[in-house]
Structure 1
Amino acid sequence: MVQILSGKAVAQKLKQDITVEIDILKSKGVIPTLGIVLVGDEEDSLSYANSAKKRCETLGAGCSIFKFPAGINQDDFEKKILELNENRDIHGYIIMKPLPSQINEKRIAEIIDPAKDIDCMTPKNIAKVFAGDITGFSPCTARAVMEILNFYQISVEGKRAVIIGRSMVVGRPLSMMLLKQNATVTICHTRTRDLAKEAKRADILIAAAGKAEMVTKDMVSPGTVVIDVGINFKDGRMVGDVLYEEVEKLASAITPVPGGVGAVTTMVLLKQLVEACRK
């Protein structure tokens, strides 16, 4: 029978651990505080920011939302980021994307303080992930996948892990994190020849392509562990990159959507906030 890898259970365990860490810090007079940078009036970003603020408050952490007009120019935005770097009341911050077209995102990533870069935008933290250096911060979604595997005691050592998707947010950094734990990793993408054949070789299949229900039963071997990172909307409902109804019949374990990786990602962000605060 397939094991459902509930992200909610993982998030609950992380919440318990984070709450203990926050209480310890508060006993020393320090309140871990998250900064969320918003540019413009993107409804999804604002909704996420408000949700994250409520989550912080529930755990006893602080959260400040820094909202700037959509027309802010590069120089002024850089000044605001540098001010956040120097703000001792903010221990870590994230910048909601997408940024307006007049903002050079690469330049912004270069000036963020790596010690406050808790979602891994800076070249320094990205380099640390690729070097296997745990002193930096990982992209939260990639780390959420590893948290799920660790929570359910799914060893990746010696296993063939196939990742569908090569983004810098999930696919590429996750490949390095899996390699660090001695998995044999293959990254597939839109130009992979015979994607189904590559996917069927996986002991652990991670779908992070951003395409609704693209992974079907023809791409999965019996007994595969399937991690679905995708969040898509189809016919008014949230679905992953995996056609769940088909694939669950073959998988030994599978994450649902919703209630899988997404449920863990915000808790990973707060875990990295606490880590930033302790440094």
Structure 2
Amino acid sequence: MKLIDGKKISSDKRAEIKEKVAKIKQQTGKIPGLATILVGGDPASRVYIQSKIKACEHAGIKSFHHDLDENSSQEAIIALIKKLSENFEIDGILLQLPLPQNKDAQEYLNAISPLKDVDGLHPFNVGLLNLSKSWNEIIEKNILVSCTPLGIVHILRKSGITIEGKTAVVIGRSNLVGKPLSMLLLANNATVIMAHSRTNNLKEICKSADIVVTAVGKSRFVNKDFIKIGAAVIDVGINRTPEGLCGDVDFDAVKDMDIEITPVPGGVGPVTITMLLENTLKAFSNRRKIVV
């Protein structure tokens, strides 16, 4: 087994982003700004938000955080989002998901200006991704793409894992990971199979893949019967168990296999936050017509 070091990949990219932010400040006197919104007090969400704020500070990106009560009305949340969308100092807006029960996230995501949608979940940006013909087009047009899928492609490319011409299975069909990741892999010329809870013969399908990405949220769901020798395995799952955090892959069951794999923690997570910083820079560039 070869571990893919997400922390190292993330650290290298953050250093690059920090350098770009410093150059922007020196040349223009401007600083990219990211607004984060947390509705309610979910402990895990608060940890994620703090990690994002800390990452912004380290990169030199200005952070604007807003805490809202879990019982905040739809009108109050959307009013804040619109206020932030109109604030010229703010280049990106992140609404921390999931929201408290009975709140439909998409209604709020639709209220974010597409130009500030650093999570890539506004229908406008989803449409741009789906209409893109290639990875080069996505990069050249600075399209805002969901951070985890963008991070996964970054991990694969920086690890020297060939995507073009390979068969990739994505387990999970969420709007946040599965769907956009499938589009990104297609843009990189992979043959993509999107699998899910209703997929028949899932083990056999995964066993045929050169790249397996699992984002199902089930601890140790994927074992050695799913993975062929020589495959690259990207574990997006973050599951809290009595023994601590673990991924969707049964790490102990595959540790003796000749594969490349991201650990949990220390794999996809750090790179996802880094892609949030990258998207904030893209949003800054797109809004202000400044090449970064």
Query: Would you say same fold, with TM above 0.5?
Result: yes
d(CA) in 1 for partners of 2:270 and 2:241?
A: 19
Q: Mean alpha-carbon deviation: is it higher for 230-239 or for 14-23?
A: 230-239
* Corresponding residue for residue 290 of structure 2: none
Aligned length: 278
Query: CA 1:222–1:53 in structure 2 vs 1: closer, same or farther (change >3 Å)?
Result: same
Which whole-Å CA distance do the structure 2 matches of 1:128 and 1:247 have between them?
A: 38
1:16-54 CA-partner distances (Å, limit 9, x unpaired)? 110111011111111111100111222222222222212
Note the C-alpha offset of 1:101. 4.3
Partner of 2:31: 31
Aligned to 1:11: 10
Q: For 1:85, give the aligned amino acid.
A: S
Checking the alignment, whether the CA contact within 8 Å between 2:171 and 2:178 is kept in structure 1 is: yes
Residues in 2 aligned to 1:76 and 1:269: alpha-carbon distance in whole angstroms:
25
Which residue is 2:209 aligned to?
A: 202
Contact 2:121/2:145 (8 A) holds in 1: no
CA drift at 1:251: 3.8
What is the TM-score of this pair, normalised by structure 1? 0.95
Sequence identity (%): 37
Alpha carbons 1:225, 1:251 under 8 Å: kept: no
Say if 2:223 and 2:249, in contact at 8 Å, map to a contact too: yes
For the residues of structure 2 that align with 1:49 and 1:161, how far apart are their CA atoms? Answer: 31
2:272 to 265, 268, 275: 265
Q: Is the 8 A contact 1:248 1:254 kept in 2?
A: no
Read off the aligned partner of 1:219 and give its amino acid letter: F
2:247 is matched with 240
* Structure 2: distance between partners of 1:263 and 1:97: 17
Residue 67 of structure 1 aligns with which residue? Answer: 67
- Distance verdict in 2 for CA 1:229–1:32, change over 3 Å: same
Distance 1:170 1:104, change over 3 A: closer
1:155 aligns with 2:162: yes
Cα displacement string for residues 76-113 of structure 1 (whole angstroms, at most 9, x for unaligned residues): 22211111110111110100122244644322222210
The answer to whether the aligner puts 1:106 opposite 2:106 as a matched pair is yes
Q: Which residue of 2 aligns with 1:187?
A: 194
TM-aligned CA distance change 1:253 to 1:103, over 3 Å: closer
Gaps of 5+ in 2: 287-292
Closer/same/farther in 2, CA of residues 273 and 237 from structure 1, 3 Å limit: same
1:255/1:100 Cα in 2 relative to 1: closer, same or farther (>3 Å)? closer
Check whether the contact 1:92–1:117 (CA below 8 A) recurs between aligned residues: yes
> Within 1, Cα distance between the matches of 2:87 and 2:237?
35
Report the Cα distance in structure 2 between the residues aligned to 1:160 and 1:80, rounded to whole angstroms.
43
Asked if residue 43 in structure 1 is aligned to residue 50 in structure 2, the reply is no
Equivalence for 1:22: 21
Gaps in structure 1 of 5+ consecutive residues: none
**Quick check: 1:226–1:251 contact (8 Å CA) kept in 2?**
no
Q: Secondary structure in 1 aligned to 2:110?
A: helix
Equivalence map 1:60-139=2 (5 Å):
60-101=60-101, 103-132=103-132, 134=138, 135=141, 136-139=143-146
C-alpha contact 2:31 2:61 (8 A) present in aligned 1: yes
Q: Which runs of 4+ in 1 moved over 6 A?
A: none
Looking at structure 1, the residues matched to 193 and 167 of structure 2 have their Cα atoms a distance apart, in angstroms, of 8
Match of 1:218 among 215, 225, 241: 225
Residues 169 and 192, structure 2, Cα contact 8 Å, conserved in 1: yes
- 1:183-207 CA-partner distances (Å, limit 9, x unpaired): 0010111111111111101011111
